[in-house]
Structure 1
Amino acid sequence: MFPELKNDRFLRALLKEPVDTTPVWMMRQAGRYLPEYRQSRATAGDFLSLCKNDAFACEVTLQPLERYDLDAAILFSDILTVPDAMGLGLYFETGEGPKFKHVIRTAADVDALPIAKASDLDYVMKAVTTIRHALNGRVPLIGFSGSPWTLATYMVEGGSSKDFRHIKGMMYSQPEVLHALLNKLAISVTDYLNGQIKAGAQAVQIFDTWGGVLSGPMYQQFSLMYMRQIMDGLIREHEGRKIPVIMFTKNGGQWLENMAATGPDALGLDWTTDMAEARARVGDKVALQGNLDPCVLYADKEVIEREVAAVLEGFGKGSGHVFNLGHGIHQFVDPERPKYLIDAVHELSSPYHETQYDDLDALNNVE
């Protein structure tokens, strides 16, 4: 159905298979720092129109690949498409971010909330298939979703929050209500990600953006438990290939062992977690993705190359590392700077893979 994949470096690294160089992509690599993205968004009219039109979503997904030698593309969409499909009425206020017309605050609100199905988000599935064909096998396509906890924060708060007072109040005073909400979201996200995989996504990432605002016990109960539920229900092989799953909890470095135990193929790391320490703790169980501070991209070429080298050295030799930022690229970054990062990763990482890749070549020659 789809063109043959020409560069599978990203997928191989997630599965800890031999690679020639460390693969690299960037969270939010299609975004406001690119002038071509800003033009596409202006043409579409607004952010949601950009997301809900498969031609526009495809256009902006491919834009960073025209500029940079990236090893993966990521679906252009938004994590809040799921609660929008549940009827909450997503909209965006200029300068204020996402908001919902309807918020979830009571048991009755949760009871009335439908479970979203992949078919309710057909425009996303159409975009995945359109992008996969347009890539023509150049690199793999990543699908994604927000974690149940992260989605719930927006649904209960009504938008972005600094103190999470409504959802944390619910968590401590009405835990059964929050559990019911998170269960509905876990079921919805599982079907949503499986729908993306069936539509053509070759790997998926769960963004637990706000898991790090929880205490340890609360993280286990209200975030990680529902990501485990999703892991248990995901399609892990499709089109004759394994479908790697990446779990990323921002500010979650203290829980890496618990996260690895839920069954992902890789863990995303933000820049507050030391790469060498993370590999020592869980590197034999999972691949690692990350973790350059996005603010490094405000520096000059020499500094960017130095910081890239430090991350590569932290992981060390062997496969199982996907280079990425520790969170999304900032909108005010000069578009020339990411090229320094990406080129440095490919140039500086090959010595970390030489022996391993030579062995692979020898094996292939024997076969």
Structure 2
Amino acid sequence: MHNFRYKAATSVSDAVVEVNQSAEGQFVAGGTNVLDLMKYFVAKPEVLVDVNPLNSLPVVSEYKEGVRLSAFATNADTAYHPIIEKRYPLLSKAILAGASAQIRNMATNGGNLLQRTRCYYFYDVNTPCNKREPGTGCSAIRGYNRMMAIMGTSEHCIAVFPSDMCVALAALGAVVNTDGMQGKREIPFADFHRLPGDHPEKDNNLLAGELITGIDLPAEGFAEHYAYLKLRDRNSYAFALVSVAVVFRLDGDLISEARIALGGIAHKPWRVLDAELYLQGKSATVDHFAAAAEIILQGAKTFEFNSFKPELARRAIIRCCKMALSPDTQLPGAQPSA
């Protein structure tokens, strides 16, 4: 592991100043991703600024009509919070689908947004990787790319973003709160993460040394009709091949509002507004869900080992939409209705 200097932050402003004093400064909270990156020599920070001392805010607090999540709270405390379980069950289920209980007890909400891709080549410093070392090439394009993206890729990177929590936050329309040298900002979730384009080394639109302080959830949590479906190689401690978050507002048999976000297929949570608009005012049928899936997956580009992903994603979207009509179908052993 690369040698580094450690500093425990005493306040948000102190953390921001400390991390900006070094070109290679980095925040650390739970450390469930950044410490792995350091062990593999992917990350080589000169200073780690520990923001755990800032974890004095409530896990969940009322904010406007919705709620604000502390960025410093753990994933576990957030998922099991009574307000989240009752008002935003989609978020609770998505968090609990991620990682393992031990990791969720350490990982923080802010850190979840900032975790980096689990692309094999990104972690292997002996292989070319534009995300790790811009301009060296993308080994995954002609390598073993089974887990890689099919949407929003570029010739420079086909890695996927691994978070489950963020797929739910995308569907809910969250807002990210930050604080930095240029002051406080509110970033709509759709604008937080980036597609690779020509700069795959940039995962998000944070400014240098900017710290996530909270995440705002809107008043509407879609607690009556929601579903989170994660398809993976094993039932726990595995990243998604495809994941889907769906929420509906229904007016009788008609869909008055729909939100669909996907994980495991792109460099960021994937949401296509045209598909959601298509479903508005339509009956909640498999045919309409299938048509929405076609809109979402339009332009999918596959590679040698992930050609199965578009069909897997299409089926997952349809199934998750059916599950959202009756959330009880998400109980263990239950089957979605026909």
Q: Same fold (TM over 0.5)?
A: no
Structure with the greater relative contact order (CA < 8 A, sep ≥ 6): 1 or 2? 1
Category of TM-score, reference length = shorter chain = under 0.3
Give the TM-score normalised by the residue count of structure 1. Answer: 0.25
Considering fraction of residues, name the structure with more helix: 1
